[in-house]
Amino acid sequence: MVSNICKRFAVIGNPIEHSLSPFIHESFAKQVGVQVQYDRILTFSDNFSTTLYEFFKQGGTGVNITLPFKETAYLLVENCTARARDAGAVNTIYLDKQGHLYGDNTDGIGLRRDLEKNLRVNLNDKKILLIGAGGAAKGIAGALLCGNPYSLTIANRTVTKAENLVTQLQSFLAPCHSDILGGGLELAIQQDYDIVINASSQGFMGNSPTEFKVKVGGLAYDLSYGIHSRAFLDFAASKGARAVDGLGMLIEQAAEAFFCWHGVFPETCFLLSSMRTATSN
């Protein structure tokens, strides 16, 4: 049921000033006729938990969590959805009926909707390379496997984190028929991939996280957007790949979070095309 009371929401992360989440949630709210105040909150590892608890103590209704706190947020919530538990990472939090912190992860469904609905990409039988093994990678890896790819290769700077993610995926996706492999960044050049997904935060330094091999006409998708995705997308385009940033995923994961909080699913296509036009000018 849609309410007239102005509720408070926020996105918590570091860095945070670039975040488009306030604009997206305010646009959805206008579209469905609810009143929201949605802020950006910058915090640091030492006081992330205090920031989170304080927001809800002061009457906040829901938060999104962004880098680098999704895995810490998972440890702080008292209960969560199955998809957040499988990911071991949380990007959406609200209070349950008992007033306890309840976590969800909408990154995986957001990416799948952008790939399949907006970009018309079919994951079935594809060789997928996932670069990164942080909170975002954990959120999307299970959803990618649900698309039944031929293989999922996870390449990360810290090798143990990629290996741990593979073990985690194998433990909850027992009937999955895809090959799952994890290791260092050298895996990115081991074969030509159909789809390469960059879930590393290296774009914030202005670089692509690694060289990678992608088939001509394949898809290279960067979870980040705007200037932070530039180096990765330029490299992909130079290899003849279709290069796409994470704006569509950002909007789709936000729509799913909006649904968790307000019980109504906003229309996303119009917002995506208007934001694409605005960011390309």
Catalytic annotation, residues: 70
Say how far apart CA 3 and CA 53 lie, in whole Å: 24
Considering only residues 8, 85, 157, 242, which one is a binding residue for ligand NAP as defined by CB under 6 A?
157
User: Which residue stretch of 97-105, 234-242, 246-254, 266-274 sits at the interface with ligand NAP (rule: CB under 6 A)?
Assistant: 246-254
Q: Check residue 268 for interaction with ligand NAP (CB under 6 A).
A: no
Residues whose CB falls within 8 Å of the CB of residue 171, separated by 6 or more in sequence, listed in order: none
Q: Which residues are paired to 92 by β-bridges?
A: 64, 104
Work out how close the CB of 279 gets to ligand NAP at its nearest, in angstroms, rounded to a whole number. Answer: 13
Which residue of the chain is nearest ligand NAP when measured via CB? 134
Q: Check residue 104 for interaction with ligand NAP (CB under 6 A).
A: no
CA 187 to chain centre: 22
Q: Check residue 84 for interaction with ligand NAP (CB under 6 A).
A: no
Q: Is residue 15 helix, strand or coil?
A: coil
User: Which residue stretch of 26-34, 52-60, 97-105, 126-134 sits at the interface with ligand NAP (rule: CB under 6 A)?
Assistant: 126-134
Considering only residues 250, 255, 271, 275, which one is a binding residue for ligand NAP as defined by CB under 6 A?
250
Q: Check residue 142 for interaction with ligand NAP (CB under 6 A).
A: no
Residues 161-220 interacting with ligand NAP (rule: CB under 6 A): 161, 199-203, 209
Q: Check residue 67 for interaction with ligand NAP (CB under 6 A).
A: yes
Q: Could you tell me where the DSSP H helices lie in 125-268?
A: 135-146, 159-172, 230-238, 247-262
Residues whose CB falls within 8 Å of the CB of residue 20, separated by 6 or more in sequence, listed in order: 225, 247, 250, 275
Say how far apart CA 276 and CA 250 lie, in whole Å: 12
Q: Check residue 22 for interaction with ligand NAP (CB under 6 A).
A: no
CA 212 to chain centre: 21
Work out how close the CB of 254 gets to ligand NAP at its nearest, in angstroms, rounded to a whole number. Answer: 8
Considering only residues 24, 77, 115, 136, which one is a binding residue for ligand NAP as defined by CB under 6 A?
136
Q: Note whether 83 and 108 are within 8 A (CB).
A: yes
Our CA angle for 198, 238, 201, nearest 5°, is: 20
Site residues (CB under 6 A) for ligand NAP?
67-68, 70, 107, 110, 132-137, 156-158, 161, 199-203, 209, 223-224, 246, 249-250, 253
